Amino acid sequence: MKISLPTSGNWSHPIERIHLLPFSPPPGAPVALDPSITLPSRRESERQRLRSLRRTGLLDSPQEERFDRLTRDAQSYFGVQTVIISFISEDRQFLKSFVGDLPRTIPRDLALCDTTIKQDGLLLIPDMRVDPRFSTHPFVLGEPFARFYAGIPLRGPSGWFVGSLCLVDTEPRHLCARERAYLGTLADLAEIEVNAGA
């Protein structure tokens, strides 16, 4: 699967660009707020997240077998066309390890994984073409004509989401409970490697 980047990076999906705190409860969960606690602003949260990413030393680093082994294993197990371990910087997605014909960087406003790091847990999209959040995305309407996406955010130092492990395919599909669990295990292993040198 080959990705051709659009000449314009002006596409934006309707999901609000928020950066959840690293240990935020799931959306809709009841939260008892202590009025004496001041939560960091979105800008401050993003600043701390980027500091966490820099501490890993992985941004713009060469491919490494410890990550490549995980993406190959995921591709073999799930049988998808593309598997990516990537990191989200200020303005781009850096692909640390991947299976597929891909560029090493993608503009952040086109990065599907930018949505993944804004939530805690699996982001599963069985068919992006019928999901209103992604149906007009350039990677859905054009090369690589992505349909299926599953991504899990990866925590860096201090617990901030710095990147993700994701699966992408050109055919719609679902993940059974066993497949979800195995993807979670691979994400745990990737997270260990992310934090190994921090």
Q: What is the mean pLDDT of each run of 10 residues along the chain (198 residues)?
A: 45 34 42 55 91 96 97 98 98 96 94 94 97 95 95 96 98 97 98 90
Cα 90 to Cα 54, 75, 83, 185: the distances in Å are 11, 28, 22, 28
Evaluate whether 115 touches 124 at the Cβ level (below 8 Å): no
The interaxial angle of helices 177-196 and 65-78, nearest 10 deg, is 170
pTM over 0.85, yes/no: no
DSSP, res 28: T
Does residue 21 sit within a domain? no
Kindly write down the DSSP assignment for every residue of 143-176, as one continuous string.
Answer: TT---EEEEEEEE-GGG-EEEEEEEEESS-----
Q: What is the largest CA-CA distance in the chain?
A: 51
Query: How far is 111 from 92, CA to CA, in rounded Å?
Result: 8
Does residue 9 sit within a domain? no
CATH number of the domain residue 158 falls in: 3.30.450.40
Predicted local confidence at residue 33, as pLDDT: 52
Evaluate whether 75 touches 99 at the Cβ level (below 8 Å): yes
Predicted local confidence at residue 40, as pLDDT: 66
Predicted local confidence at residue 101, as pLDDT: 86
Does residue 154 sit within a domain? yes
Domain hosting 101: range is: 63-196
Instruction: Tally the domains of the chain.
Output: 1
